[in-house]
Each structure stands twice: as structure tokens, then as C-alpha cells.
A and B are shown apart, each in its own frame.
Chain A
Amino acid sequence: MNEGILERSLTIFLEKWSDENLKRAEQFVEAHKNVVPGKIGINQLYGIQRTTSQGSDLLHEYITNRIRRAQKSGPFQKDVEDYYNNLLQEFVHIDNETVNWVKQIENRDKEKIVSDLRIQMKSKFIQHLISHSNF
């Protein structure tokens, strides 16, 4: 697949995915209504979104740190811990979807495509979380 066509396919995939997963993000927000905004502020979500640009590993580390911090704080922060754990689950789901989609395309640099796409999808998902949490 040539670069131009690949780029276009990635954009369309991401736009379609973003629209199809808006509801999923809204449900996520509704399920954690008592935590955001509150114990977790909207600015923290913006912080997570900024971290996505540094790659999936750092993002994972960032959220794992948040989970550890919440665990240390005891039962009062259990809902915060659950929020971040569930967010990690969403990211695992996104990782799997990316791999499945990239399987369908022919390109030598599949690993890079998977990595870039994961970052963009996670960033979109967090964009949805921010907007709905704000709302």
C-alpha cells in the first residue's frame, strides 16, 4: 500500500473509530460520575491526554503510578483506583483493536503503524472523556 493511500486509510479508520466509540466513552464517564470531576479533576485528564503523545509505555506507567498512589491512600481512594484500572482496560481493548485493523493492511512498517495508531486512538478516547466529563 503506498504512503498516501495508507495515510488516508488510517485517517478514515480513526475518524470512524472515534465516532463509533463516543458512546463507549460516554458510558465510561457515566459509570464514574462520582469521581470525575471531583477526586480526579478535568486537568488530570488533560494531563493524561498530553502523556499519550509520549507513547503507550509512558502512558501505561503514568496511569499505573496513579493506581499505586490511590492504593496507598487507602479505601477512600478506591473509586479513583477503579477509574484508572478501568481506563487501563479500555486501553487494552484499544490495543487489540489496533492490531486487528493493522493485520488487514500490507506494509513493511506495521509495528510503527500500530504504535502511532494506538496513541491517536487513546488520545481520541481521552478527548471524549474530557468533553463528556466537562459536560
Chain B
Amino acid sequence: MELFANIKSSKLKREAENFVRQLSDTFALGGTDLYTDENALTLAQELAKSTVDKTQIRGLVEIAKGTGSIADILDTIKVRVGRDYRGNGWNKEGIGKRLLNTLQSLRAKVDNFIKQHQQFENEDSDVARLIHLQLCRNFLEVLAAHFEYIKRIEEDKNE
């Protein structure tokens, strides 16, 4: 993973990549002991019930892929929630806030992983942030995939 290029130890780099892969799989599949928070599928299902459309979800994924800052992703979601005055899009059932909390809560999992690998103390202090960023990107990609699939099924039903 490009984001981890700065990790000097190849063993640690592998561990970080494995951690991200393992956790990202649970975003898609759910139900493991690693993953107990909000589920990407549930969030996608609820977003699909709102007025949020594919373009907005794709836009969010693009922002996540293009930025090196987690704050940019969170700011984008906050602005969308804030602009949803009628409460039928990002604000419906507090879905935007729940997505925000989910992305933020991933940091605790990263901190826990770092704690278990003391060798990270010799690495760049930015490693935890970069792992968190990668997880946010992966979560949003899985969410977008679920969302598009649900929307497609709905469209097929309506035809």
C-alpha cells in the first residue's frame, strides 16, 4: 500500500498491510470479533432509503482517495449533513453522523494495533494516522459498493 511506503521495517509494513486487509474484509463481510461497530452494509441500506444518490457517494469516495487528510473526508460529510435542511438525505436517521462516528472510531482500532506492536515506536510518528486514512478509504469503498448494488436492485425492481 502506497501510504505505508515510509515504514522502514518490511516486517512492520507487512503487519500494517495485513491489519488493514483483515479489518477491511470485515467491512465487507461483517460479523468477526474485530468488527463490532456500525456495519458498512447497514449504513449503505439506510443511505439508499434516503435521497442521497450515487454521485454523492462516488464523490465522497473520490475525495477520500484523493486526499491525504482524514479531516477532509470528515469535513465533507459534516458539510453534507449541515446542508441537508430537510433531513431527508445525509441527515435522515442521523446517518451522516453515524458514518462520521464510524470513520472516527476506526482510529481506536489503529491505536490498539500500534500498542500491540511496540516496534512502531521507532517508526514515523505519522504511521497511525496513515493506517487510519487507509481504513477510512476502504470503508467508504465498501460502503459505496453496497450502496450501488442496493440501488441497482431497486432500479431493476422498478423497471
B-binding residues in A (CB < 8 A): 11-12, 14-16, 18-19, 21-22, 124, 127-128, 130-135
B29 touches A (CB below 8 Å): no
3 residue pairs, one from A and one from B, having the closest CB atoms? A134-B82, A131-B75, A15-B68
A residues within 8 A CB of B67? 15
CB <8 Å contact, B75 and A16: no
Q: How far is the CA of A15 from the CA of B64 in the complex (A)?
A: 13
**Size band of the interface chain B makes with A:** 10 to 19
Q: How far is the CA of A135 from the CA of B79 in the complex (A)?
A: 6
CB <8 Å contact, B69 and A135: no
B residues within 8 A CB of A19? 69-71, 129
Q: How far is the CA of A89 from the CA of B74 in the complex (A)?
A: 25
CB <8 Å contact, B81 and A18: no
Q: Majority SS of interface residues in chain A? A: helix
Q: How far is the CA of A16 from the CA of B81 in the complex (A)?
A: 24
CB <8 Å contact, A16 and B71: no
Q: How far is the CA of A11 from the CA of B70 in the complex (A)?
A: 14
Residue of B nearest to A12 (CB): B68
**29 cross-chain CB contacts under 8 A:** A11-B68, A12-B68, A12-B126, A14-B69, A15-B68, A15-B69, A16-B129, A18-B69, A18-B71, A18-B72, A19-B129, A22-B71, A124-B71, A127-B75, A128-B71, A130-B75, A131-B74, A131-B75, A131-B76, A131-B79, A131-B82, A132-B78, A133-B82, A134-B78, A134-B81, A134-B82, A134-B83, A135-B81, A135-B82
Q: How far is the CA of A21 from the CA of B72 in the complex (A)?
A: 12
- Mark contacts of B13-41 with chain A using CB atoms, 8 A cut-off: 1 yes-contact digit, 0 otherwise: 00000000000000000000000000000
Q: How far is the CA of A124 from the CA of B75 in the complex (A)?
A: 10
Q: Which of B69, B76, B83 has the most CB of A within 10 A?
A: B69
